[in-house]
Structure 1
C-alpha cells in the first residue's frame, strides 16, 4: 500500500509540475554530494596549511585551496537559495493549491448520502489534515531525498573508508537507531491521529458554535454557554494530552538517539587520534576525517530518519487519496464500510467481518477507507441480494457509461416498492413506498416528525439511491438518467434552505443566474411572496428626496435673471434625469439590490420569515415544471402563510408540485395526499377520501383543527 501511494504521488508531481520536480531532484543531488566535495577540499586545504606552517610548501597552494573553497561556497549558497525557492514555491505551494482544489471538488461532488455517514466525515477530516500538514509534498521530497542521497552517502562512505574502514562502520552504526525510532514513532503517531479524529471533529464543531451568531445568542439567553465551553475544554485537553504524550515520547527517543550518536562521534574521534599517533593519518587527513565523520553521521542519520517517517506520512496520504477516490468509486469513505486505522487491534479481523450497520452492506479491506478501484468491490458486492446486489455489483461499470439525458416534459413520477436505510443504521427510514404522481398534480406529504417525508423526497430526486426498488421518471429508472439534465426541470425549497453572502438579485436568480440582470422579473417574484414592501419604501423615500431637491432648485431659479433662465432650464432637465437615475439606484440599494446580504459584509439582515420568503421567491423565479417544497412556510405567521400559499397554488397550476408540511389545513387545496408513518405510506388519496376513511390523516386533521376551533 505504501509503495502504491508513493508511486501515485511521484506521478502526480511529475505530471502537474515537471520542471519544479526535476529541479528539486537536481538540488538535492548537489546537496548530497556537498559533504564529499567539502571533505576533499578540506583535506587538501588542511594539508596545504600544515605544509606551509612546517616550511614544506609555499603560500600559493594554500591560497589556491582557500580560493577554491570560497568559490565553491558561493556557488553552493546561490544554488541552495534558488533550490529553496523552487521547492517552497514550486513544489509545496503549487501542490497544496492543486490538492486543495481536488479536495474541494471531491467534497462538492460527493454523493450526498456520504455526508450522512460518520466514517466519511472522519475520512474527510483526515484528508484535510493531510493537506494542512503538507504530507503529500512531504512524501515527494522524502522520496527525492532518499533517491538522491544514496549516491552521496556511498561517495562519502568511500571517502571516509579510504582513511580506515572502521570509521565508516562506526559512523553508520552510531545513527542506525534513528531509523527504528522514527519508524515506530511515525506509525504510532498515525494511529494516535486516527484515534483522535472524532474528538477533533467535536472540538472544532463546538468551537464553530461560539463563532456563529445564532448559536451564541441562544447560548447566552438559555445560559448553557458555560457548559459548552467546558465541553470544548475537555475535548481540547483530551486531544492535547494524547498529542503531548506522543511528543514527550518522541523527545525521549530522540534524546537517546542523540546520545548514541554523540557517543559514536567521540568513539570515531578517539579512533582517529589513535590512527594519527600511529602515523596512519597525516594532520591534514585527520582534520578532514573529523569533518567527514560528522558528515557521514548527518547524512546517514537523515537518510534513516526520512525512511522512518514514510509510514506516518503515507498513512495520511492514503486517507487523502481515499477521500478523493470516494467521488469516483463505489463505497466511499465509510458509506459501505467501517473505517479501521491500519495497524489497530481490529484491523486484522475487520476485513472478514461485515459492517454491523446493515446486513446489506458490503465488506471492504480493513486497511482501506474506500476501495482502490471498482474491481475491489466486486467480490464484496456478491454478498448483496436481489436487485440491490446486482445494481451495486455493476455500479462501477454503470458510472463509466454515459447516462442518458432527460428530455421532454415530466409526465409521471413513480416510486416502486422503494426502501432505504441510512449508513450504519439498523432500521429502514423508508419501507416499501410506492406512489405515482402525474403531471400537473399537487401532492402533499404529511406525517409526524421522523416519519420519512424528507427522506422520501430525497429518494424521489435521486439525491439518495434506494436500497431496494426504483424511482422512475416517465417510466425510466432514475439511476439510468443524467441527473443534471433532470434537475433543470426541478425547483427545490429544502427545509434547511440557505441564503448566501451575495446580492439580493443573485440570491433570487441562482437557479437561473444568466437572468440575474432581469430586475423586473426578480421584483415580480418578490411581490408574489409579499416582499415588494422593501422596494416600495425605498421608492417613496427617493421620491420625497427628489421633490425636496426640485423645490430648492425652483426657488433658486426664481432668484436668477431671465437671461439665465433658459440655460438653467436645460441644466434642470439634465438634473431631473440624474435624479430619476438616482431614485432608481436608491430604490435598488435600499431594497437589497446590488448589495451583499448579511451583517458580516455590512448588508441588510432579514428575519427568519423574510428569509423563507426570499427562498420561496427563488423557486418562483426558477420557473420549473417540478416544484418540491419542504416546509415552505414554517417561519411565516398564519395570515402570511395562507396568502402566500394561495398565491403559490394559483401559480403552480399546470406544474407538478410536491409539498411537505406538518400543517394539514393546506391539504384541502391539493390533489393528492400521502400520509407517512414509520417510513411507510400509510394512506394515499384526496382530502375528502382520507377524511371519509377516518384513518391516520383524519386524526392529524382533527388534532390540528382543535387549535383553531376550540
Structure 2
C-alpha cells in the first residue's frame, strides 16, 4: 500500500487543486474538493498506521536476530584458543565484527525491502510523468545515477579508513578506559598520570581525526555535485512543463501534480541512493562479522574422540621434546623440553620471570599448541583428547585470577557450575579457605554481589585471592595447578592456605609454579627453568647439594627470610 501512496497522493492533490480552481463555477466542485481533502487525510493516516505496524514487526525480528548474532559472536569468542587471544589482530577482527553486529543482516534486508517499495512507487509515478513526456523519466534517472555512484565510493572510502584506524582506535579506547575505570585509579593519582594519559589519547585521536574530516569533506563535495546535477534536471523539466502550460496542454492542477511527481521522484531516488549506500556499507561490516565466525578454531577443543573414555585414567603425563614459540615470533619460549610427571606426584616449577614456566603449564593443559614434540596423558596423545574432557580433570589457581563482579556464591561456584545451587557446599569451601568470617560480614551472605562495578561490596586483594582458591576447590579434579596462588597473601594467610592445598592435593597430580621457594621445599620434584629449558631437576636436598641455580635462588631468598619478622611462618610453610 505504501508503494502506491505517493502516486495516489499526487493524483488526489491534482484533483483537489482542479476542484478548488473551479469552485466558483459550480457547487459540485466544492463538494468534490471536500471529499478529496478527506480522502487525502484518511489515506495518510492509514498509511501511517501500516508503516508503524511494519516498524514494530521489523524491530521484533531485528532484536531477535541481534540476540542470536551476539550469542554466536560470544560463543565464537569463547571457542577461540588462548594462543589466538595472544594475537592483537584477533582484537581488531573482534572490534570490526562487533561493529558488523550493530549493522546486522536485518538492516540489510530492511534496506532491500525499502528499495523494492521505493522502486514500486517510482514505477507508478513514472507512469504519470511519461504520459506528458517520454524523456522526463529518462532525464531523472540519468541525473540520479551520479549521486548514487558518489555515495557508494564515499562509503567504500569510509570503510577503508575505519579498517586502517582500528588499531589506533583500540589504543585510544584503552587509554580512555584507564582514565575512567577504577582499576588504574590509584596509580594514576599517585603518579599523577592523568595529564600524560590524556595527552597520549589526544595524540592518537588528533592523528586519526583529520582522516575522517577529509573524508567528510569529500562526501559533502560529492553530495553537492550530485544534488546540483539533480536540481539542473529539475530546472529543465520545470521549463518543459511551463512551456506545455503556455500552450494550453496542462491545467494548473496538472502542473502542480507533475511538479510534485518530479519532486517525489527526486525524493525516491534520494531514498534509494541512501539505502544502496547503506547496503554497501553494511554488507562490508556484515562480511567482516561472518569472517570472524569463520575463523578456524582448534579442532580438538570440543571434538569427540570415542577412543578416549569418559573416566579418562592416566598413570603419567609425558612431555616429549616439545618446542613452542608465539606466532610471528622467532624467539623460542620453550626449546626441546622433556619431562615425566607421574600420577599423584607434586612437581614444583621455579625460575626467573620469562623462563617459560607458565608457558610449559599452558602447553600441558592444551591451552597452547606446541610447534614440535608431543605430550601424552598415559598412552593418549594430547592432540587426540577433547580439551573440554581434559579440562574437566583439572582445577587451577592462576596468579592473574579473575575478579568476577558477581555474587560471592557465583565467584566460588564458577569452579563447578553444576553445583551453583549447593549453598551448603559453598559455605563449607568458604570455611576451608578461611573466609567464613567474610561471609558472615556480608549483608546478604553468600548472595551478596562482590566488586564495585555494579555497586557490590569490594574485597581486599587477599580476600579476592582466597575466593579464587575457593573456586579451584569447588571442583573435584585429578590435576591441580597452582600458579603463584598465594602471591597476594601475607605469610600467616599463606600458611593457612597451603595447609588447605596440602589436603586438597592428596592423591592428585599437582603442578606448582612459584617464585617463593619456601612452600615448594617438600615437593616430590623441583624443576628449574631458564631460557625455555629445564636446567635442573631433583628434590630440594638434591638441588641444594648440586649448588647450582636453585641453590643460588634459595640462598638468596633465605637471606631475606633471615631478616624477615615472619621467618618462623616461612619455615612452617616449607612443610608443604
Q: Report deviation, 1:497.
A: 0.6
1:285 to 227, 234, 254: 254
Q: Provide the rounded CA distance (Å) in 2 between the counterparts of 1:226 and 1:495.
A: 31
2:531 to 671, 678, 694: 678
> Residues 455-534 of structure 1 correspond to what in structure 2 (within 5 A)?
455-516=359-420, 521-534=425-438
Task: State the match for 1:99 in structure 2.
Answer: 69
Is the alpha carbon distance of 1:159 and 1:594 closer, same or farther for their aligned partners in structure 2, counting shifts above 3 Å?
same
2:156 to 169, 187, 196: 187
| Superposition TM-score, scaled by structure 1 size | 0.73
Q: Provide the rounded CA distance (Å) in 2 between the counterparts of 1:464 and 1:503.
A: 31
Q: Provide the rounded CA distance (Å) in 2 between the counterparts of 1:44 and 1:420.
A: 82
Task: State the match for 1:37 in structure 2.
Answer: 8
> Residues 133-144 of structure 1 correspond to what in structure 2 (within 5 A)?
134-144=103-113
Q: Provide the rounded CA distance (Å) in 1 between the counterparts of 2:424 and 2:259.
A: 84
Larger CA deviation: 699-708 vs 313-322 = 699-708
Task: State the match for 1:316 in structure 2.
Answer: 285
Is the alpha carbon distance of 1:173 and 1:521 closer, same or farther for their aligned partners in structure 2, counting shifts above 3 Å?
closer
Deviations 1:211-267 (A, max 9, x none): 332311111112222211221222333344333332233223223322332232222
SS of corresponding position for 1:32: coil
2:243 to 268, 274, 291: 274
Work out whether residues 66 and 104 of structure 2, in 8 Å CA contact, stay in contact via their aligned partners in 1: no
Gaps of 5+ in 1: 1-29, 331-394, 536-586
Q: Report deviation, 1:155.
A: 2.8
SS of corresponding position for 2:188: helix
Task: State the match for 2:569 in structure 1.
Answer: none
Task: State the match for 1:636 in structure 2.
Answer: 489
Task: State the match for 1:126 in structure 2.
Answer: 96
SS of corresponding position for 2:414: helix
Q: Provide the rounded CA distance (Å) in 2 between the counterparts of 1:705 and 1:57.
A: 112
Q: Provide the rounded CA distance (Å) in 2 between the counterparts of 1:457 and 1:400.
A: 20
Q: Report deviation, 1:592.
A: 4.6
Work out whether residues 494 and 631 of structure 1, in 8 Å CA contact, stay in contact via their aligned partners in 2: yes
2:304 to 402, 412, 429: 402
Is the alpha carbon distance of 1:534 and 1:481 closer, same or farther for their aligned partners in structure 2, counting shifts above 3 Å?
same
> Residues 303-702 of structure 1 correspond to what in structure 2 (within 5 A)?
303-326=272-295, 329-330=296-297, 402-404=304-306, 406-516=310-420, 521-534=425-438, 587=440, 589=442, 592-600=445-453, 603-702=456-555
Deviations 1:590-612 (A, max 9, x none): 69533222344555433222322
Q: Provide the rounded CA distance (Å) in 1 between the counterparts of 2:57 and 2:504.
A: 61
Deviations 1:511-535 (A, max 9, x none): 2344456555445434443435546
Q: Provide the rounded CA distance (Å) in 1 between the counterparts of 2:243 and 2:134.
A: 14
Deviations 1:248-295 (A, max 9, x none): 332232233223322322221111101221233343322221111111
- The alignment's C-alpha RMSD in Å is 2.8
Task: State the match for 2:568 in structure 1.
Answer: none
Is the alpha carbon distance of 1:709 and 1:317 closer, same or farther for their aligned partners in structure 2, counting shifts above 3 Å?
same
Task: State the match for 2:41 in structure 1.
Answer: 70
1:111 to 73, 81, 84: 81
Gaps of 5+ in 2: 564-576
Q: Provide the rounded CA distance (Å) in 2 between the counterparts of 1:144 and 1:645.
A: 65
Is the alpha carbon distance of 1:40 and 1:685 closer, same or farther for their aligned partners in structure 2, counting shifts above 3 Å?
same
Q: Provide the rounded CA distance (Å) in 1 between the counterparts of 2:131 and 2:302.
A: 61
SS of corresponding position for 1:502: coil
Is the alpha carbon distance of 1:600 and 1:74 closer, same or farther for their aligned partners in structure 2, counting shifts above 3 Å?
closer
Q: Report deviation, 1:195.
A: 1.3
Is the alpha carbon distance of 1:32 and 1:639 closer, same or farther for their aligned partners in structure 2, counting shifts above 3 Å?
same
Work out whether residues 117 and 424 of structure 1, in 8 Å CA contact, stay in contact via their aligned partners in 2: no
Task: State the match for 1:336 in structure 2.
Answer: none
Is the alpha carbon distance of 1:699 and 1:73 closer, same or farther for their aligned partners in structure 2, counting shifts above 3 Å?
same
Deviations 1:484-520 (A, max 9, x none): 2222221111121123233333322322344456555
Is the alpha carbon distance of 1:505 and 1:94 closer, same or farther for their aligned partners in structure 2, counting shifts above 3 Å?
closer
Work out whether residues 182 and 308 of structure 1, in 8 Å CA contact, stay in contact via their aligned partners in 2: yes
Task: State the match for 1:14 in structure 2.
Answer: none
Q: Provide the rounded CA distance (Å) in 2 between the counterparts of 1:591 and 1:193.
A: 47
SS of corresponding position for 1:310: helix
> Residues 180-329 of structure 1 correspond to what in structure 2 (within 5 A)?
180-326=149-295, 329=296
Q: Provide the rounded CA distance (Å) in 1 between the counterparts of 2:542 and 2:388.
A: 37
In the comparison of the two structures, how many residue pairs are matched?
A: 561
Is the alpha carbon distance of 1:640 and 1:91 closer, same or farther for their aligned partners in structure 2, counting shifts above 3 Å?
closer
2:51 to 77, 80, 85: 80
Task: State the match for 2:570 in structure 1.
Answer: none
Deviations 1:304-362 (A, max 9, x none): 33223333222111111122333xx34xxxxxxxxxxxxxxxxxxxxxxxxxxxxxxxx
Is the alpha carbon distance of 1:83 and 1:593 closer, same or farther for their aligned partners in structure 2, counting shifts above 3 Å?
closer
Work out whether residues 51 and 57 of structure 1, in 8 Å CA contact, stay in contact via their aligned partners in 2: no
Work out whether residues 445 and 658 of structure 1, in 8 Å CA contact, stay in contact via their aligned partners in 2: yes
